[in-house]
Structure 1
Amino acid sequence: MKHNQLDRKQRYGIRKFTVGAASVVIGAVVFGASPVLAQESTVTSKETAELSVEKEQPEKAEIVEKNVTESNGVDTVTHASTEAHTGTETTTTAEATRETEKDPAALPRDYYARELENVNTVLEKEDVETNAANSNRIDLTEQLGKLKQLQNATIHMEFKPDASAPAFYNLFSVSSDKVRNEYFTMAVYNNVALIEGRDQNGDQFYDRYTDAPLTVKPGQWNSVTFTVERPSADSPDGQVRLYVNGVLSRTSKKSGRFIKDMPDVNHMQIGTTNRAGSMVWGAGLQVRNLTVYDRALSPEEVQNRSYLFERSELEKKLPEGAEITDKKDVFEAGKNGQSNPDGINSYRIPALLKTDKGTLIAGADERRLHHYDWGDIGMVVKRSEDQGQTWGDRITLTNLRDNPKATDPSVGSPVNIDMVLAQDTETKRIFSVYDMFPEGKGIFGMSAEKEEAYKEINGKTYQILYREGENGAYTIRENGVVYTPDGQATDYRVVVNPVKPAYSDKGDLYQGEQLLGNIYFTSNKTSPFRIAKDSYLWMSYSDDDGKTWSAPQDITPMVKADWMKFLGVGPGVGITLQNGPHKGRIVVPVYTTNRTNHLNGSQSSRIIYSDDHGKTWHMGGGVNDNRTLYDGTVVDSSNMNNYYAQNTEASVVQLNNGQLKLFMRGLTGDLQVATSNDGGITWDNYVARYDVPDVYVQMAATHTVQDGKEYILLANANGPGRKNGYIRVARVEEDGELTWLHHHLIQEGEYAYNSLQQIGPKEFGLLYEHHEAGGNPYTLSFKKFNWDFLTKERISPKETKVKNVIEKWPGILAVEFDSEVLVNKIPTLQLANGKKINFMTQYDTKTLLFTIDKSDLGQEITGLASGAIESMHNLPVSLEGAGIPGAANGSEAAVNEVPEFTGGVNGVEAAIAELPEFTGGVNGSEAAVHEVPEFEGGVNGEEAAVTELPEYTEPIGTVGEEAAPIAELPEFTGGVNGSEAAVHEVPEFEGGVNGEEAAVTELPEYTEAIGTVGEEAAPIAELPEFTGGVNGSEAAVNEVPEFVGGVNGEEAAVADVPEFAGGVNGSEAAVHEVPEFTGGVNGVEAAVHEQPEFTGGVNAVEAAKAEFPEFVGGVNAAESAVQEVPEFTGQQSIVSQATAQDKTYQAPAVRQDVLPKTGSEDATVLAFVGLVGMLLGMFALGKRKED
């Protein structure tokens, strides 16, 4: 569970959780009883035999129907043979026990997952199984009428399928025994969670889900959640969403129709489904919970409801010889939305090249204002001459100047974006090829109408300029001189050979010697000319190993065909062919769109190439040129409109047999690889697909030969979404096909674009996008690893073990495991002293809460007395060696017999000062000394210095929640923090509390839970005077006539006394109304953060809330999470999707936040009245004491 979710739980743990569990805690702590939290029971063992049923799948034009037949050759159970099961259900022992013996005071085993508000449960079923004994079916038909009334709903199911479950099986369904194709099903096909709804005519309610991106884990516990939203009963419009283990897999906006739109359905079930009398789609399932709610839960609510089913990869140890370096940040972005010290907000789009000299060149987009694909972006590189251990300063290839009068400053710059680095192995020249757009939103801001960008005159190609108010095409000719449409030279001149740093003056327009503007500006421009609103390809080169770079050159007219709307690079690295008839050819991957369908259905991968060392460039063929798809459809990149046939950014390698392999980003959810046998001029019709995840993000590939064998390395995000970077190894077979051998996690968390290079015989380097919590997306980081890291298998854990045991709250024990666990059968733990501790609830994916008596602190947990704790990774769970901390904070405190408190703070004895009277402060900070005849201060009456503590990222235990014992004493003269200090034999208290400043100990950051302090009452001692204590342990209590004060800023229990009203030395203390503990240290109340709901983030800092309707992988993880690319319906474009996700950027000059004016202009009178009141009060109190 994420840290801010734990932070929220801390609030609930002290407030809501305490209320919910009040009877449990009272029973355990006050009366010494062990409360019963939930009745323990045994689920009937699941039979291995399965009922032979007709293996049917949803019909219509679905991939499911194309790939799975309705019968697998087994006997079909007829309707008549299943009549005996209609309306019956096999109730397991567990369910019967829960129904008959539930303790009303018991908390649910998943208490924290049920923190939902304003929602009602329509149906709930727990701890049932589908197996041979019940024909793999749980009948729920009696509840069908309730669901037919729902317009908006959520269906949440927690289940574990048999490891041998069929390719297609139903989870939950409603169906008709008369109309075969009228049904709703929430099902699994080839591990892909899907939904399908059809009316009495068999027409589909929703878009296709059979190729949704998220899958369930076979043979493990999963959750699948479906929501339907329909704003109006009078219209079918609405949307449905499907989540897997709390992560949004796909949204369909086709309709909001649901069960009420199926007039003939009369069966509802888990598992085997009654379709017109045929019993189909059954499988063996353990069902932990099925709940139907009466409204659609939000993505955040579904995440919380399913959080126990989140799991990360098991931590595996590296084998001997496997090496990987720590992450090194090469280009570091800013944090929390702010720029870094160089004024840069974000870096994106890594390119990594090893030169012939062994130098590593790292290229990047330097995005000054934000992380989006437009605005002020510079092309930059860094160099490393020591294999990536250190990196030099940034070198800017180009950064075109901003439009000073731009309508929108966040968009007000011409755009360079996406770099490819390549080196000519003969001339050693290094090339950088990148995209260019005039001022605007790049690929999303291109003109809807075609604008000619170039004109050929007398065999030469010139760039066209458009003049305001005119239709003719001006041209830029030699030396930048602007010519009229009829071929006359003007006095206008464009800078075509820039000289300013970063070549920022390229495109500047002069009339004579007067600078008018820039031809790349498009808004509020002062120049009368602009270029076509099109996409362009530019190139820079270096002849000194990347130290200096040429001015940009426009190579667009060499390679861009007239039908192409967009032409851009596949960022990363290009290659020089090493063998075959085209040896020496420089190859750069690119992709295109056509003008008819642009990003909606026409993206196609291809390459450009140069056979003359980069002097001229040519366009290669497209993968989708005249391509025949699996269903016989023929597409061509120049006019295609096929969403799923699109392929985009690509990475290219050459095999030893001369073939080119193009690893393409696509929309099928798996890896697509194209093959060329002629150096990229054409591509085979067959596009290979491999069982490697593609979450629609750029990938990087490289070719290597190890021990005489040929391999491909591939790096990409493994998902969900742009998360969890993997490095993969494939063996190249004799026919050029790939056999994937190894898949290893190389960076957990955020992970998007990357670039991969071999930098030594058995060593490789990876430059990739990543950011930690609070960091702007993205920082570009570098890692090195060797061949053994790639090919040797990790050493996997053999069992799940206890990692930590703490007393989280008084009487509540937290047992944390080293990997995710789940409670189904309520566990009871056996202690070494023969006693048992009872389960309370599951706190997070790795932590369980138990109740414990004080007398059992310090004991060892020897094992399970009953019930079970299951590993989410199907590992054995071991409790061996788990010990419960004893006494206070896990260690028995030393007991000191002392007659009188004589000073010291926090366990450090203070130096004794000979003072006639206490005049100091509290909390270890020496107070200002006032020369007065009598002490008139107080405990915390003078605000102590606030100590700046390092960030604490774990829950803070409760402090001082137990009422203090009532003592009869005339005056409080004790110590600080309720802990007894070291004793000096002296006749009288002579300071030592802040009278002499105690030594301050510098503590390192503490990242574990802080134990509770001072909740237990101390033994009562018959002494004439209370003398305090130190270190959070309540000191010995003296029998004295009266005391109603408190410790640490928390008001103690109030005693009914005739006169004393709190405070010290006759000075009345300030009264604080504290209804609830809200954190803080040393009596200073911490700032209160109102957090209504968990919204993601790390280290107790709430993350930026991202509105994301759907996860499809192909979204910029810079937008902080899962983005929506819905099933294509021909109406919603990728452009609109991307635009919908982008928050409006406000440049620093646009937004000036100020604090609200909450104070008075002049507080002189109020201050004077307060001062007079304070003096009068002091005089009256002093007089009363004197009397």
Structure 2
Amino acid sequence: MRRGSVERAGTRAGAAFALTLAVALVLAFVLRPDAPAGPADADGPEPAHRTGLTAAVSAPFNAFTEGYDCYRIPSLTTTKDGTLLAIAEARTSGCADIGDIDLVLKRSTDAGRTWGPLQVIRGAGDPGAYGSPAPVVDSASGRISLLHAYSTWTADADGNRVRGPRELRLAHSTDDGATWTTDPDPQPQLKDPDWAWVSVGPGRGVQMTPTRPDRPGRLVIGSDYRTGTDASGAQLLYSDDGGLTWAAGARWSAPAGTPAPSEPALTQLPDGRIYLNARSTATCGTPDHRLSATVDDASAPAFPAPGFTPVADLPAPPASGSVLQLPGGPLLLTAPSRPGAESSDRWTLAVRTSQDEGRTWSQDGAVVLRERAGYSDMAALPGGRVGLLYETANGTPHGYIKFTAFGLTELRSAAEDLTPRRTADTGPYRDDAVVHGAPRLGNRPGGGKAMRFDGTDDFLRLIDCPDELRVGAEDFAVATWVQYKTRGQDRGSGLRRPLLWAYGQGPAAKQFRLEADPATGRLEATVNAGTGPVTVTSPTRTDDDKWHHVVLQRHGGRLELSVDGRAPATAATPTGPAGDLRPGGAFTVHLGTRPDYKAFYAGALDDVRVYGRALSRNDMARLRDGHDVTDEERVHLAFDAIR
């Protein structure tokens, strides 16, 4: 199968239902041919054979409707009689985590094609935050238990609204979600007194296979926590009485500063063990953004060694996902498949499979949505299909919640390689760049190959925020060869074309960048330590379709932009702490676009280098003459190949 850019890229209701599901998955049929088409690929056209899964069947929750601005954190479950429940957080003021948040529900009796009216389960008339819904169904009684989190609000020292103490609460339904009984009291047995944070799910829990005919299977839900000393971990919550009462079970804790599981999704494996796959708290300096663990007994005091370990070779950004073991089939995982350390990297939602109980995951998968998409949850549907509820919106991963369904046959036919394409960093740190769109390699006279961008959807990313690319208050330099010609459609657009953009965007975001201004035909270099931009412009035009060697650097408190070794354009920049460009959290370095993907570079780049020091005139001359300058080299993209 041809490789491509990544950007192109359970509740068990008894043995009879499990058997039906297993058979029907093998014989799964395709969704209605009149299902609506999906949204266009935000990052450009795909080869014709890459169709992905069938487009969304329905949208239970739409932003700015039914009294709410935003819907987030989807949870999907199937009741005993086959009714489908979509549960979500409904946010009254934007999509922020801080604000008035209600728990809402919609029901479907036709496998998700249409949905009934919106019901508010918790939060009506309460300015607090109800969230992280984690439902689970008891197959014997049909009772639906809904564990969820609740917090009030308080003010910090500056008067900003912040989250108050967070606790877990419980709601029940005995009529397939039509009505709910809510317990106003917290569940103190599920939270240790020294915990500063506690949550459940999000996403459905599981009912274990019954061990005796006269006893319903144990109900299990995943949770996570953080202590007052910033140790974090995961814990299983379980009920042996059909969800009436709940107890805290197996726990795994990570010391402060080490990767810890967050938002654990779980399912039961064929051998009876519980498998968990969680978002990792580790974001920077690692490509592994998910952790997994297995446990035999949910009521045990601890997870067996080694507990949660990184899931290697699974490109994914920090986000909640969902796992579902198919009876007689593979283990499924849904999560965004674009690699990266930022929440803004939530793109290209895909379904992957594992044939070895989660120890390894397929490099290929079925793409659900190639645009931005966030959290998701799966559930087994009556008749043998799998339902999927997921977040998406226009230009952001969050706001709307959509539903689709698929069978095993569709998964197999839609599978494509999700392995990110890369171009090598030959410097000492090996921070290879991820390739997006379809940039091509062309020749640079006397200089080997060069990367050519089409100005529409081609770009590269340096991801996972390695420490060597955190520019502080010290000198640094970026050197590259540049060739471009201003296009007619660019002259009146008012958009500068970004060649390189590091870190954030906006007047208060730390950043440094190099852009082409189509109005003047010149290059601009900008640094911003968070107090406002400092910009210099090249003295001469560079849009003549010829190759130019360009150096952007900070040298002794001045920003310099030099072209072809000529005297640089300069401007004073803040020094000391006021000039510190180091981003506080996760970051990305983009080449060929800016962080919001609203402008793209049309032209070529070659021999892109980043240094942790300023370059001398002799250094610049050596680079122009084709020699290496490796002292304090942080990145060197030679563009010899795309692999």
Same fold (TM over 0.5): yes
How do residues 34-433 of structure 1 correspond to structure 2 at under 5 angstroms? 314-315=46-47, 317=49, 324-326=54-56, 328-333=58-63, 340-401=64-125, 413-433=127-147
- Partner deviation per Cα, 1:175-230 (whole Å, 9 max, x = no partner): xxxxxxxxxxxxxxxxxxxxxxxxxxxxxxxxxxxxxxxxxxx9999xxxxxxxxx
| Counterparts of 2:3 and 2:104, CA distance in 1 | 48
How do residues 475-554 of structure 1 correspond to structure 2 at under 5 angstroms? 533-554=164-185
CA distance change for structure 1 residues 556 and 757 in 2, over 3 Å: closer, same or farther? Answer: same
Structure 2 residue matching 1:344: 3-state secondary structure: coil
Residue 294 of structure 2 corresponds to residue 675 of structure 1: yes
More strand by share: 2
Structure 1 residue matching 2:94: 3-state secondary structure: coil
| Counterparts of 1:714 and 1:364, CA distance in 2 | 20
The amino acid across from 1:426 in the alignment is A
| Counterparts of 2:499 and 2:95, CA distance in 1 | 22
Structure 2: runs of 5 or more not aligned: 8-41, 418-435, 446-451, 461-486, 512-583, 587-643
TM norm structure 2: 0.56
1:844 to 451, 455, 479: 455
2:350 to 723, 726, 735: 726
- Partner deviation per Cα, 1:145-200 (whole Å, 9 max, x = no partner): xxxxxxxxxxxxxxxxxxxxxxxxxxxxxxxxxxxxxxxxxxxxxxxxxxxxxxxx
The amino acid across from 1:663 in the alignment is N
The amino acid across from 1:559 in the alignment is L
1:655 to 269, 274, 296: 269
CA distance change for structure 1 residues 793 and 371 in 2, over 3 Å: closer, same or farther? Answer: closer
CA distance change for structure 1 residues 422 and 846 in 2, over 3 Å: closer, same or farther? Answer: closer
Partner residue in 2 for 1:584: 217
Structure 1 residue matching 2:243: 3-state secondary structure: coil
CA-CA distance at 1:433 after TM superposition: 1.4
Residue 312 of structure 2 corresponds to residue 693 of structure 1: no
CA distance change for structure 1 residues 440 and 791 in 2, over 3 Å: closer, same or farther? Answer: farther
Asked if structure 2 preserves the Cα contact closer than 8 Å seen for 1:345 and 1:776, the reply is: no
CA distance change for structure 1 residues 787 and 523 in 2, over 3 Å: closer, same or farther? Answer: closer
Partner residue in 1 for 2:391: 769
| Counterparts of 1:739 and 1:777, CA distance in 2 | 26
Alignment length (residue pairs): 409
| Counterparts of 2:45 and 2:510, CA distance in 1 | 26
| Counterparts of 1:1108 and 1:426, CA distance in 2 | 55
Asked if structure 2 preserves the Cα contact closer than 8 Å seen for 1:580 and 1:658, the reply is: no
Asked if structure 2 preserves the Cα contact closer than 8 Å seen for 1:420 and 1:569, the reply is: yes
Structure 1 residue matching 2:410: 3-state secondary structure: helix
Structure 2 residue matching 1:691: 3-state secondary structure: coil
- Partner deviation per Cα, 1:329-369 (whole Å, 9 max, x = no partner): 22111xxxxxx243421111000111121111001110011
Asked if structure 2 preserves the Cα contact closer than 8 Å seen for 1:363 and 1:379, the reply is: yes
CA-CA distance at 1:323 after TM superposition: 6.0
Partner residue in 1 for 2:575: none
CA distance change for structure 1 residues 554 and 740 in 2, over 3 Å: closer, same or farther? Answer: farther
| Counterparts of 1:846 and 1:715, CA distance in 2 | 25
Structure 2 residue matching 1:572: 3-state secondary structure: coil
Partner residue in 1 for 2:150: 436
Structure 1: runs of 5 or more not aligned: 1-217, 222-243, 246-309, 334-339, 403-412, 448-521, 525-531, 625-636, 797-817, 828-840, 848-870, 873-956, 959-1008, 1010-1075, 1079-1088, 1097-1102, 1111-1135, 1139-1187
| Counterparts of 1:737 and 1:776, CA distance in 2 | 28
CA distance change for structure 1 residues 435 and 386 in 2, over 3 Å: closer, same or farther? Answer: same
The amino acid across from 1:430 in the alignment is I
Asked if structure 1 preserves the Cα contact closer than 8 Å seen for 2:321 and 2:334, the reply is: yes
| Counterparts of 1:439 and 1:548, CA distance in 2 | 28
Asked if structure 1 preserves the Cα contact closer than 8 Å seen for 2:53 and 2:414, the reply is: no
CA distance change for structure 1 residues 401 and 314 in 2, over 3 Å: closer, same or farther? Answer: same
Structure 2 residue matching 1:392: 3-state secondary structure: coil
Asked if structure 2 preserves the Cα contact closer than 8 Å seen for 1:374 and 1:440, the reply is: no
Which protein has greater RCO, CA pairs closer than 8 Å, 6+ apart?
2
CA distance change for structure 1 residues 366 and 1094 in 2, over 3 Å: closer, same or farther? Answer: farther
How do residues 1004-1043 of structure 1 correspond to structure 2 at under 5 angstroms? none
| Counterparts of 2:508 and 2:221, CA distance in 1 | 36
| Counterparts of 2:3 and 2:381, CA distance in 1 | 41
Partner residue in 1 for 2:226: 593
| Counterparts of 2:384 and 2:3, CA distance in 1 | 37
CA distance change for structure 1 residues 1107 and 767 in 2, over 3 Å: closer, same or farther? Answer: farther
The amino acid across from 2:304 in the alignment is D
Partner residue in 2 for 1:780: 401
CA-CA distance at 1:623 after TM superposition: 2.2
Asked if structure 2 preserves the Cα contact closer than 8 Å seen for 1:317 and 1:794, the reply is: no
Higher Rg of the two aligned structures: 1
Asked if structure 2 preserves the Cα contact closer than 8 Å seen for 1:331 and 1:779, the reply is: yes
| Counterparts of 1:392 and 1:1106, CA distance in 2 | 44
Partner residue in 2 for 1:825: 443
Q: Cα RMSD over matched residues?
A: 4.2
CA-CA distance at 1:732 after TM superposition: 3.6
Residue 264 of structure 2 corresponds to residue 614 of structure 1: no
Structure 1 residue matching 2:409: 3-state secondary structure: helix
CA-CA distance at 1:795 after TM superposition: 7.8
- Partner deviation per Cα, 1:301-331 (whole Å, 9 max, x = no partner): xxxxxxxxx9779435369xx9624353221
| Counterparts of 1:754 and 1:395, CA distance in 2 | 20
The amino acid across from 1:587 in the alignment is V
Structure 2 residue matching 1:397: 3-state secondary structure: strand
More helix by share: 1
Structure 2 residue matching 1:419: 3-state secondary structure: strand
TM norm structure 1: 0.31
Partner residue in 1 for 2:193: 562
